[in-house]
Structure 1
């Protein structure tokens, strides 16, 4: 039962956790949301500085809560790719320093592999292979998982990730950052079918459309046009107190519904076409209530096994990085102590993080 101290600093969440045999012994996250909200998105330089300030205290906290000494750890892990390069460096340098100081193996972990492993922190999974919908602020992908480290991407977004679309639409609606929770709150009580919005499709060179791939940039543009039209009508009707008040809840609900519909329809179709009986959903957008409800209902109708990462581990956290590191440890993997970081690295290249000679 390997025990791992894991660090996560790929974007704007500083996190540390101690994990043993897919159980969280201690976990702590320092969010930077309030600071970045004033800019409407993550400012990389600020994120890096805040990681430097927060991470040492988080490590001290989780080690104390776990009741373990460094000598009882089997390895130390940190996210090495992909992400904001400055942010990644903070966690990587600290993880490698602690590993060398305490004579422990170091593992650099692929952030997306961490998300794939987050589901193991909840209910046990049926035997694989299975299909994962990874849906977050930076990624929207369907990935076939045949076993630990055995991944194959079946679909992706060709432009904005779903979480990125939530952030941009929230900005249009002046709801603040991050967009997912803000739109979910604004959509409460709204009519999700009032405004028909486009379900972006990806054309194929030979004609027709890709059956699974996503596109959300056209949806964002459609919402922009709708908002412009509705605000003009509001102004013509005499403003918020006039005859045409801006229907914020209906717009938010309509946007949220079409994103959920697209994700549910294409993912369940892919699972059926690929003969995969289990569907898993992970990532920050997996916390959205409308999406979770729609996916659960459709999987029940189709007889698919359904799993979703626990709410506490949908957004970026270090526990999922620890579980991914555990899996790699069981395979005998180690990272070179000189391993740097990669802001861009495909999941299919994750094994490069465990080359005996650091690839970067």
Structure 2
């Protein structure tokens, strides 16, 4: 007997994508709509995301994006069973814009609200298209985070390692900016690297003699800058070779640490999620590593790797069904968090501040 349909509305606004989605959940997950409105043109003159501009754009566009998602799904607000919204971590102005909208919609309709950790959305995003049994090893690799975690279920993630300085996505973005390749940086580097020689420029191999599962990308950024200065003025071929050299080193670093974690945990499934997981070279390396370890490799479709609200809707639903969502009173009273570790029991790598653990 098929499970009665549940309709879940999701909102995501943690960085520079304003997103809303509607899921229909029975004994399977169906994405009825997933609307993502980017802000690349708004931030392009500044070479990166400007928090104030992002927050204003979210506030201006969230109602239109939400309306479009509901319209495409042909689901009126009154028919929703659950509303899920990112409550952190992220750029606090953007998070506040989206979460405040979701609060208002919840109060107006009486539909329960579930605050969602943005990283939880990425961690569970593979469930939008595949039925993946837990536990699984997750490489979460995005613009703001690079972590290895064992995901044991909704709200249950154990961190094995994290970046001790910059995230992989940030390194891709800043490398692209340095070379004038445009934004977003990850796809720009990947495109340029296809025409380049990955062995032309020597790049460091971060943390090569250090055990554990942590990552570091600051040294790679420095090496790219030094190589660019020495080769200046850069030709198109110089840029392609530098992009290829950087990409090869960054992906080998990710792959080496992931292989070690897979061997240590004996996990039967390796999952990659987050914006950088859309990189085809990285996907290929991770698939090789999983095959070598006798494990399955699974990653979301490219549109669900980058920030989206469908993953937030799914995470909210799974948390609610697992009894891990706060009460409606607590959800409406919750203040968005710029910092929110997925594994709150893990020791902060950088330390703690007034806003919570930095990593």
Q: Under a length normalisation based on structure 1, what TM-score does the superposition of the two structures give?
A: 0.89
Output the CA distance in 1 between the equivalents of 2:6 and 2:226.
53
The partner residue of 1:41 within 19, 35, 48 is 48
> Which residue is 1:194 aligned to?
200
Q: Structure 1 residue runs of 4+, over 4 Å off?
A: none
Q: Does 1:230 align with 2:224?
A: no
The partner residue of 2:146 within 140, 146, 152 is 140
Q: Which 10-residue stretch deviates more, 57-66 or 129-138?
A: 57-66
Number of residue-to-residue matches in the alignment:
336
8 Å contact kept, 1:7–1:95: yes
Output the CA distance in 2 between the equivalents of 1:135 and 1:45.
25
Q: Does 1:166 align with 2:172?
A: yes
**Alpha-carbon distance, 1:311 to partner:** 0.6
> Which residue is 1:267 aligned to?
258
The partner residue of 2:326 within 334, 342, 349 is 334
SS in 1 for 2:232: helix
> Which residue is 2:127 aligned to?
120
Bigger Rg, which one: 1
**Alpha-carbon distance, 1:246 to partner:** 5.6
Q: Does 1:313 align with 2:304?
A: yes
Output the CA distance in 2 between the equivalents of 1:271 and 1:8.
31
Output the CA distance in 1 between the equivalents of 2:71 and 2:147.
37
Q: Which 10-residue stretch deviates more, 18-27 or 308-317?
A: 18-27
8 Å contact kept, 2:262–2:293: no
**Alpha-carbon distance, 1:340 to partner:** 1.5
Output the CA distance in 1 between the equivalents of 2:86 and 2:112.
14
Output the CA distance in 1 between the equivalents of 2:191 and 2:128.
27
8 Å contact kept, 2:196–2:237: no
Deviations 1:120-166 (A, max 9, x none): 112321x3211000000000000101122111000011001000001
The partner residue of 1:29 within 36, 59, 70 is 36
Spell out the pairing of 1:1-360 with structure 2 (5 A cutoff).
Answer: 1-21=5-25, 22-125=29-132, 127-201=133-207, 209-231=210-232, 247-332=238-323, 333-335=325-327, 336=330, 337-349=332-344
Output the CA distance in 1 between the equivalents of 2:246 and 2:15.
26
Aligned CA-pair RMSD: 1.9
SS in 2 for 1:180: helix
**Alpha-carbon distance, 1:95 to partner:** 0.3
**Alpha-carbon distance, 1:70 to partner:** 1.9
Output the CA distance in 2 between the equivalents of 1:122 and 1:258.
31
> Structure 2: where are the runs of 5+ without partners?
346-354
Output the CA distance in 2 between the equivalents of 1:217 and 1:271.
25
> Structure 1: where are the runs of 5+ without partners?
203-207, 235-239, 351-358
**Alpha-carbon distance, 1:301 to partner:** 2.6
Output the CA distance in 2 between the equivalents of 1:347 and 1:330.
19
8 Å contact kept, 2:84–2:317: no
